[in-house]
Amino acid sequence: MSDDDFPPDDGLDATAEGADGFDADLLEQELRGAAAVLDPLPAELLQLAMDAYVLHDLEARVAELTFDSLVDAIPVRGVEDPPRMLTFQAGALTVDVEVTGDGLLGQLLPPQTARIEVLGGPAAARPLTVDGMGRFASDTPPTGPFALRLRTGRDVIVTEWLRA
């Protein structure tokens, strides 16, 4: 058994305090104190989560991630840096997206025109060019978390937030 595994059962697990006076709760509490000093949640991340409340939008429909090449694709031998292929679905609408180091490409299915923005956080939105067939492209790859906001006719659809 390697050190990566959990240690073997030593038969003393039944009670919080074993016969030898070991106090697990106390040690856990000490770790909690140490984490607060040595590995605290950065203040700016706490603030970003606070600010994320504006992303709560009941008017918009969420297009759920139904395919992610990072999880669902079978690796192709010899392909060093394959593009990230993503598929989102909202009702009858499918959004296919391909993210590479060079940018972002995509297609709405069934083909239709739409206004599309790339969201990068609570305050960042960048419009994309879309053709009449619902094909869109950007030569700036998304960095960090991103989502696409689509306006088709009367609908607003936002893809699930993902990390590029």
Partner 1 sequence: MDRAEVGALVQSAVDGDAAAWKALVEGLSPLVWSVVRAHRLSDADGHEVYQTVWFRFAQHLGRIREPDKAGSWLASTARNECLKVIRGLTRLLPTDDPQVLDRISEDRTPEQSLIDAEDQADEARRIRMLWQEFEELGDRCRQLLRVLMASPPPSYVEVSAALGIAVGSIGPLRQRCLRRLRARLDARGAV
Q: Which residues bind partner 1 (CB under 8 A)?
A: 2-10, 12-13, 16, 18, 22, 24, 27-28, 30-39, 41-42, 45-46, 48-50, 52-58, 62, 68, 70-71, 84, 121-122, 144-145, 147, 158, 160-163
In the complex, what is the shortest distance from the CB of residue 163 to partner 1, in angstroms, rounded to a whole number? 5
Between residues 128 and 157, which has the closer beta carbon with respect to partner 1? 157
Task: For partner 1, give the closer residue by CB, 4 or 139.
Answer: 4
DSSP state of 22: -
Q: Please, are residues 147 and 159 in contact by the beta-carbon 8 Å criterion? A: yes
Tell me whether residue 24 or residue 125 sits nearer to partner 1 (CB atom): 24
Q: 86: burial class by Cβ within 10 Å (0-12, 13-18, 19+)? A: buried
Please state the closest distance from residue 94 (CB atom) to partner 1, in A. 19
- Shortest Cβ 28–partner 1 spacing (Å): 6
As measured in angstroms, the least distance from the Cβ of 97 to partner 1 is 15
Angle at 141 between CA 88 and CA 71, to 5 degrees: 45
**Consecutive H or E run containing 145:** strand 145-152
> Cβ distance 142 to 164 under 8 Å?
yes
- Contact (CB, 8 A) for 132 and 102: no
Pairing of β 125-130 and β 115-119 = antiparallel
Nearer to partner 1, 16 or 133 (CB): 16
Shortest separation between residue 3's beta carbon and partner 1, angstroms: 4
